[in-house]
């Protein structure tokens, strides 16, 4: 389905029975909503589940520049408005977590729970910013394929397993311009660490035990700064923990949302 939000026809899916509490799943970089397919199907037994392709990725076109991370957050809040989602449980993985943290900073009353998966609140270091710049240049110069080939082993412990092949296919369908824009958006994101103490909704931090991009110590410090946050370290999973340890991921997220969901 498509919704015109901020001048962009965002591609999205809604699953699950009308009238149930909403859950919004925000995907990472450079993925699409397809990476949430298993979680959306499982959660749709109990919730109304919204997934969408971030602008410039999957089936969502890239709007006119400039498009900082703030524009992606505008899309999240705008899509919720367009679909009549007053409040939702918010789940973000990696880049999706950066968006989720900023969305909660801007509009906490719109969310009844926050699940931060394989992500961090700190902005990029200078070294990280230079890495993004190199990635942007490489995407424009060499295209998507070498970039994805280099990234995949950092995302998963077992890149050659079926989940790795599926993730690679999803990433390869994205265009260089959308991927480069997302890199620039992440490069320019703000530090949401100072506002973690102001989070007053039930929160969960999930991390793969072998996450090389946002390691468990980052997740531990994130959880320690959010009042009452639950921490789940998933064994035998890398950065994209929902794909590499789906059963443990779904169990942790499902139990958390069940405890946090508004009773109707």
20 vs 158 by CB, closer to ligand MLT: 158
- Cα(126)–Cα(18) distance, integer angstroms: 46
251 forms part of the interface with ligand MLT (CB under 6 A): no
Overall size of the chain counted in residues:
264
Query: Of residues 205-234, which lie at the interface with ligand MLT (CB under 6 A)?
Result: 213
Residue 38, φ and ψ in degrees, nearest 5: -65, -40
Q: Please give the sequence-ordered ranges of beta strands (E in DSSP) within 88-241, or none if there are none.
A: 88-93, 111-117, 203-208, 230-234
Kindly state the smallest distance separating residue 261's Cβ from ligand MLT, in Å: 26
Kindly state the smallest distance separating residue 230's Cβ from ligand MLT, in Å: 21
27 vs 48 by CB, closer to ligand MLT: 27
- Cα(248)–Cα(35) distance, integer angstroms: 16
202 vs 211 by CB, closer to ligand MLT: 211
23 forms part of the interface with ligand MLT (CB under 6 A): no
Kindly state the smallest distance separating residue 72's Cβ from ligand MLT, in Å: 11
Kindly state the smallest distance separating residue 190's Cβ from ligand MLT, in Å: 14
242 forms part of the interface with ligand MLT (CB under 6 A): no
Three-state DSSP at 159 gives: coil
- Looking only at the bridges linking them, the beta strands covering 203-208 and 88-93 are unpaired
* Binding footprint of ligand MLT, residue count (CB under 6 A): 7
Tokens 């100072």 map to which residue? 194
Kindly state the smallest distance separating residue 11's Cβ from ligand MLT, in Å: 18
Extract the tokens encoding 57.
Answer: 């990725």
Q: Which of 39, 94, 168, 174 binds ligand MLT (CB under 6 A)?
A: 94
20 vs 246 by CB, closer to ligand MLT: 246
Considering Cα of 155, then 158, then 162, then 165, what sign does the dihedral take? positive
2 vs 154 by CB, closer to ligand MLT: 154
- Cα(185)–Cα(62) distance, integer angstroms: 13
Q: Please give the sequence-ordered ranges of beta strands (E in DSSP) within 163-258, or none if there are none.
A: 203-208, 230-234
28 forms part of the interface with ligand MLT (CB under 6 A): yes
Q: Which of 95, 170, 199, 207 binds ligand MLT (CB under 6 A)?
A: 95
For residues 226 and 260, the answer to whether their CB atoms sit within 8 Å is: no
Query: Of residues 32-91, which lie at the interface with ligand MLT (CB under 6 A)?
Result: none
29 forms part of the interface with ligand MLT (CB under 6 A): yes
- H/E stretch holding 4: strand 2-5
Chain residues binding ligand MLT by CB under 6 A are 28-29, 94-95, 186, 213, 239
């Amino acid at each position: 389905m498509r919704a015109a939000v901020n001048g962009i026809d965002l591609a999205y899916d809604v699953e699950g029975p009308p009238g149930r509490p909403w859950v919004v799943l925000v995907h990472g970089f450079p993925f699409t909503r397809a990476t949430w397919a298993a979680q959306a199907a499982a959660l749709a037994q109990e919730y109304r589940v919204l997934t969408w392709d971030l602008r410039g990725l999957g089936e969502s076109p890239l709007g006119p520049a400039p498009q900082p991370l703030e524009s992606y957050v505008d899309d999240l809040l705008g899509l919720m408005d367009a679909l009549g989602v007053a409040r939702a449980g918010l789940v973000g993985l990696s880049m999706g977590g950066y968006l989720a943290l900023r969305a909660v900073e801007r509009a906490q009353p719109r969310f009844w729970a926050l699940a931060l998966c394989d992500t961090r609140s700190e902005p990029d270091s200078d070294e990280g910013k230079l890495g993004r710049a190199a990635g942007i240049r490489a995407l424009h110069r060499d295209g998507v394929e070498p970039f994805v080939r280099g990234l995949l082993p950092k995302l998963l412990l077992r890149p050659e397993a079926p989940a790795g092949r599926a993730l690679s296919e999803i990433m390869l369908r994205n265009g260089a311009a959308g991927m480069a824009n997302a890199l620039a958006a992440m490069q320019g994101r703000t530090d949401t660490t100072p506002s973690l103490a102001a989070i007053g909704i039930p929160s969960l931090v999930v991390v793969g035990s072998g996450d090389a991009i946002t390691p468990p110590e980052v997740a531990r410090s994130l959880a320690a700064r959010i009042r009452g946050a639950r921490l789940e370290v998933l064994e035998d999973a890398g950065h994209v923990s929902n794909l590499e340890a789906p059963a443990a991921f779904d169990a942790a997220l499902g139990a958390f949302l069940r405890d946090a969901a508004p009773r109707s």
